[in-house]
Amino acid sequence: MKKILFLISLISIQINAQDKAAPTNFQGNVLPIKGFCIAAPRSAGVTDFVNFIEDGLAPRSVNTLILRVDWNYRYKSHPELRDSGALSKGEVKKIVAACKKNNIRIIPQVNLLGHQSWAGRIGNLLKAYPQFDETPAVMMPEKYVWPNPDGLYCKSYCPLHPEVHNVVFEVIDEICDVFEADAFHAGMDEVFYIGEKQCPRCSGKDKAELFAGEVRTIRDHLAASGCELWIWGDRLIDGKTTGMGEWEASFNNTYRAIDMIPKDVVICDWHYELPHKTPVYFAMKGFKVLTCPYRNPASAVLQAQDMVRFRTSSSREMRERFQGMIQTVWSGAEQFMDSYYGRRIEKETNNPVECFKALYGEIKRLEDAITE
């Protein structure tokens, strides 16, 4: 009898578990977010890019476009930060209109905190406001090499400088306004310089607290106007314990910030070589998470399968946090479009165009299989 009761209770637990985990009525919503992330085109590339939205993104049901704008916009609030030949308001509106027509949500990105220089070139923010530099004593080299004695990957701004947010917030507000955005991507990846000894404000402070403080400051500013904050996830992963290293995870102790930042920050979890299972980690911490491949088609296919499996085999609470996939492109928009339209031949078979096609082919296959 005991055995029968035990069996009955086992069956009922199983039914209960199946009920809770069952992929109930996805209605084509297998992955809520099907994304694409790329640098905003320069002025001359806008027409081509609008065509790509129509014939590259829309037919694949891409519904989210992260556009890395940075200083490629003619900011009215801060003309000193504009790139030369930056996008005009009219050009941005052409992109906005094409996305609106195709039900694509645009999320503009300006790299905040880290990535304030690239190779031997200082970024526009620190060029105009050198006082915001976290490491003013580190000079930009004439010929950049990695590794280097300064540990210079990219410059950071000092998150505790009393004036930095006056500038940053005006930039955020203007870019969200012109893109008619309800979410903003702040980058915040690969922050190597943070809490540096030479900074009179940050020296000796906990790097995780500094990182979390900056996330919270930006999040709170956005939340006041109903805007979501999206960031890259690498600083929130322990690079040593996971073996993921100092690029796609953190070697400078910022990873504890995962328990210090608001749960409504959306995490873009990039992994380009292996389909790490980190979305589960972020989801279990309460965050919405997106997996972001780049140029490895085989890995991207596995990542898409994982994302669907996470959604179909999780509790209702967890399922809603596994939001989908974002194809990430790190070349300029022009270079990607040249490859996509066959005007440029890629030497490597692992490249963003092939990855994009493989990822969206697999997403379609998975959606068809699950909705049949």
Residues that bind Zn ion (CB under 5 A): 134, 158, 160, 199, 201-202
Q: Which is nearer to Zn ion, 91 or 134 (CB)?
A: 134
Q: Using the Cα atoms of residue 6, residue 7, residue 10 and residue 11 in order, give the sign of their dihedral.
A: negative
CB of 162 to Zn ion, least distance (A): 11
CB of 257 to Zn ion, least distance (A): 16
DSSP 230: E
DSSP 229: E
E strands present in the chain: 33-39, 64-68, 105-112, 117-118, 121-122, 183-187, 228-232, 266-270, 289-292, 322-328
Q: Which is nearer to Zn ion, 160 or 280 (CB)?
A: 160
CB of 160 to Zn ion, least distance (A): 5
Q: Which is nearer to Zn ion, 51 or 198 (CB)?
A: 198
CB of 158 to Zn ion, least distance (A): 3
CB of 135 to Zn ion, least distance (A): 9
CB 273 within 8 A of CB 303: no
**What is the three-state SS of 2-51?**
HHHHHHHHHHHHHHHHHHHHCCCCCCCCCCCEEEEEEECCCHHHHHHHHH
Q: Which is nearer to Zn ion, 46 or 168 (CB)?
A: 168
CB 57 within 8 A of CB 66: no
Q: Which is nearer to Zn ion, 133 or 306 (CB)?
A: 133
DSSP string, 67-115: EE-TT-B--SS-GGGPPTTPBPHHHHHHHHHHHHHTT-EEEEEEEESS-
CB of 139 to Zn ion, least distance (A): 18
Q: Which is nearer to Zn ion, 213 or 286 (CB)?
A: 213
CB 231 within 8 A of CB 254: no
Lookup: tokens for 224:
């006041």
CB of 240 to Zn ion, least distance (A): 24
- How far apart are the C-alpha atoms of 19 and 250, rounded to whole Å? 38
- How far apart are the C-alpha atoms of 72 and 117, rounded to whole Å? 15
CB of 159 to Zn ion, least distance (A): 6
